[in-house]
A and B are shown apart, each in its own frame.
Chain A
Amino acid sequence: MIPKAKEMAGPVEMSDAEALWYSGKWIDRVPQSVSVTVLGLGMLGLWWLIAELEFVSRILLPGPAETFEELWDATKNIVSGGHIAEGLWITTQEVVWGFLLAALAGFVLGVVVGETRLGKRAVMPYLVSFNALPKVAFAPVFVAWFGFGVNSKIVMATFIAFFPVIVDTAAGMLAADDDTLMLFKSMEASRWQTLLKLKLPSALPFIFAGLKTAAVFSVVGAVVGEYLGGGHGLGELIRFSAQTLRIDRVFALIVYLGVIGLLLFGLVAWTERKLLFWHKSEIFEIQVGTPG
């Protein structure tokens, strides 16, 4: 749960030790854009080959060509406002509402848990063990409670995305180091001042790690809700397509699900980069000469 630079999409910075270990390997001499593209094309080629040689039936494993065709059809459907556009819109709403509710509740309760002794000593163990439960198993319960409409999916998305936010936020509240806390005590800072000026900013890297997980989890929650609770979202379309053995359409729809998740994740990561300009995950080494 400790945020690291490596969680970020994009080029990964290496430590000196790592660089030394890898130095001289051919992969370091290839630009990353090239290595990523080549690997992607290679995987597409492998997929094409497996489909073409029909190791498995083409109905069960359509090749890249059929999938892209289906993706193109889906895109046309979305642009013209067809049923896939409706499904995309419904699922997007469920995901966004689920994420926002989870972020808000997780943040507020996480601060309370991390800041109070009762929270740290009594509530935190429950959170950690609850976090280890397979939360998708609760989906039927929410369908029973909140019906087959959008609400049960939002609740499912919120429920599953809530835990990473509250656990990381609570952990982040303990991130300020002892000496700095001692400094605040020596300045006679109130609890509120210590919270606002020290603990919350120190917790931000943790909170954003939780939010990024929540962005991904809220899509999972919404789709699982739709698989079990019906409706008209992308999850239901996927379930129906799979049942009618239109695997190529399933793949095309999963791409659009991925777009929702990636956009949400990207938005959170972008906000993080703006807010955490001071954090070591965002800083390339800047050298300034010592004066005098």
Chain B
Amino acid sequence: MIESTDAVDRAGQQPRPVNDEVVRITGLSKTFHKRGLSALDDVDMVLRHGTFTSVIGPSGCGKSTLLKIMAGLIPASSGEILLNGVEVTGPRQDIGIMFQQPTLLPWRTSLENVLLPIEIRSGSAAAQARSADALQLLELVGLEGFDQVRPFELSGGMAQRVAICRMLVTGPAILLLDEPFGALDELTREYMNVELQRICRERDATSFMVTHAIPEAVFLADQVFVMSARPGRIATIVDVDLPRPRTLDMMTTPEFGALVRRVRHELDMGIGGGGEQ
């Protein structure tokens, strides 16, 4: 893997730990008592600074639950999540999150949508003061000049770019992406993946993406976590050592094909081993 050495930490976040460890999860489990369902069982993982991690697994393997627990949105039943050395006990400013739907507020302009997290946490004046940063972010995602446009005038891909800006505006230490481009058409989706790679590299971001598309998982990731279902656990980690920046052309190379096959094989093993479906 080629590490970009000139990547600047523009987000102005906390000094990164010496060991480059952004997230450490140990023994994480989640049981939904109402349904008596064990969604996650004894998950361990480490996310290092500047890396991209994809999580893939059959539906119902708890990958979305895992992401929401990491975001502090739902509590874990047991285990521990450390983000920059501090335990995650609830939502935090240094956690950025993005969903399958852009979830933009339709009555707000792109700029106002991007500034929403600042406005919620620190008030309108603080948000106003950060306008320049927000405009810079819109420029970064290729939406220069679209700051006064409202969501209904944006295409699906453009709306998701605004959502990316809103996620980045607080300078989060970790980006949690819950099938971010799952609702887009195939061509737009491939294009957005290339864009996401570029944005993550420019921001030197640490990213964690849930997806159900194997090529997408491989294309973006430094490591792919393959999960098995019932109970959800990480079955295998597939390291992706393709050079960066990756291009769509690479998806036709034998190396890429081999990695996709490997992930698919591991997935099939996980489903087969998971038993009672």
Q: A186-B91, A193-B120 are in contact. Are A288 and B153 (CB under 8 A)?
A: yes
Q: Please indicate the chain B residues that have their CB under 8 angstroms from the CB of A286 in the complex.
A: 152-153
Question: Which residues on A are within 8 Å of B, measured CB to CB?
Answer: 177, 179-180, 182-189, 193, 197-198, 201, 278-280, 283, 286, 288, 290-292
Closest CB in chain B relative to A48 CB, distance in Å: 48
Would you give the shortest CB distance from A276 to chain B, in whole angstroms?
8
Nearest-neighbour CB distance to chain B for A56, whole angstroms, equals 53
Cα distance A146–B151 in the bound complex, in angstroms? 51
A-B residue pairs in contact (CB < 8 Å), sample of 5: A182-B99, A183-B97, A193-B120, A279-B106, A291-B146
B126 to chain A, nearest CB (A): 13
The 6 closest A-B pairs by CB, nearest first: A278-B106, A180-B103, A278-B107, A187-B120, A179-B99, A292-B142
Contact residues of B: prevailing secondary structure: loop
Say if the beta carbon of B73 comes within 8 Å of chain A. yes
Given A182-B97, A189-B120, A286-B153, 17 other A-B residues pairs in contact with their CB atoms under 8 A: A182-B99, A184-B120, A185-B73, A186-B97, A187-B121, A188-B121, A193-B120, A197-B119, A278-B106, A278-B107, A278-B152, A288-B155, A290-B157, A290-B158, A290-B188, A291-B142, A291-B158
> For residue A280, which residue of chain B has the nearest CB?
B152
Judging by beta carbons under 8 Å apart, are A283 and B152 in contact?
A: yes
B191 nearest in chain A by CB position:
A292
Q: Are B101 and A177 in contact (CB under 8 A)?
A: yes
What CA separation (Å) do A59 and B99 show in the bound complex? 69
Min CB gap A4→B, angstroms: 17
A187 touches B117 (CB 8 A): yes
Tell me what chain A mostly uses at the interface: helix, strand, loop, or mixed. Answer: loop
Asked if B116 is at the interface of the complex by the 8 Å CB criterion, the answer is: yes
Structural contact, A201 and B116, CB atoms closer than 8 A: no
Complex: A89 Cα to B78 Cα, angstroms: 70
Determine if B213 is an interface residue (Cβ-Cβ < 8 Å): no
What is the bound-complex CA distance between A183 and B99, given in angstroms? 9
CA distance A118 to B73 in the complex (A): 24
Q: Is B150 an interface residue (CB 8 A)?
A: yes
Query: Which residues on A sit within 8 Å (CB–CB) of B68?
Result: 182
Distance to closest chain B CB from A198 (angstroms): 7
By a beta-carbon cutoff of 8 Å, the part of chain B in contact with chain A is 68, 71-73, 90-93, 95, 97, 99-101, 103, 105-107, 116-117, 119-121, 142-144, 146, 149-155, 157-158, 188, 195
Considering only CB atoms, which chain B residue lies closest to A182 in the complex? B73
CB distance from B77 to the nearest CB of A (A): 19
| Chain B residues within an 8 Å CB radius of A179 | 99-101, 103
> In whole angstroms, what is the CA distance A187 to B119 when docked?
10
For residue A188, give the distance in angstroms from its CB to the closest CB of chain B: 5
Least distance between A177 CB and chain B CB atoms (Å): 7
Known: A182-B73, A283-B152. A197 touches B120 (CB 8 A): yes
Q: Chain B: which residue is nearest A184 at the CB level?
A: B120
* Nearest CB of chain B from residue A213's CB, rounded to whole Å: 23
The reply to whether B142 and A183 contact each other, CB–CB distance below 8 Å, is: no
In the bound assembly, the distance between CA atoms of A225 and B45 in angstroms comes to 71
Are the C-beta atoms of B143 and A291 separated by less than 8 Å?
yes
Residue among A184, A186, A201, A288 with the most chain B CB within 10 A?
Answer: A186
Question: Would you give the shortest CB distance from B149 to chain A, in whole angstroms?
Answer: 7
Alpha-carbon distance between A38 and B152 when the two chains are bound, in angstroms:
37
Which residues of the other chain, B, contact A189 by a CB distance below 8 angstroms? 120
Check if B105 sits within 8 Å of A185, measured CB to CB.
no
CB distance from B63 to the nearest CB of A (A): 16
In the assembled complex, how far is the CB of residue A184 from the closest CB belonging to chain B, in whole angstroms? 7
- Chain A residue with the shortest CB-CB distance to B145: A291
Residue in chain A with minimal CB distance to B116: A187
Q: How distant is the Cα of A185 from the Cα of B100 in the complex, in angstroms? A: 16
**Shortest distance from the beta carbon of A210 to any chain B beta carbon, whole Å:** 19
A280 to B106, CA, bound (A): 10
Within the complex, what minimum Cβ distance (angstroms) separates A196 from chain B? Answer: 11
Chain B residues closer than 8 Å to A279, beta-carbon distance: 106
Shortest distance from the beta carbon of B89 to any chain A beta carbon, whole Å: 12
The docked-state distance in angstroms from the alpha carbon of A110 to that of B186 is 43
Residues of A within 8 A of B157 (CB): 290
Q: A179-B100, A278-B107, A288-B149 are in contact. Are A186 and B73 (CB under 8 A)?
A: yes
Residues of A contacting B142 in the complex (Cβ-Cβ under 8 angstroms) = 291-292
Name the distance in Å between B106's Cβ and chain A's nearest Cβ: 4
Residues of chain B with a CB closer than 8 A to A197's CB: 105, 116, 119-120
Chain B: CB-nearest residue to A292:
B142
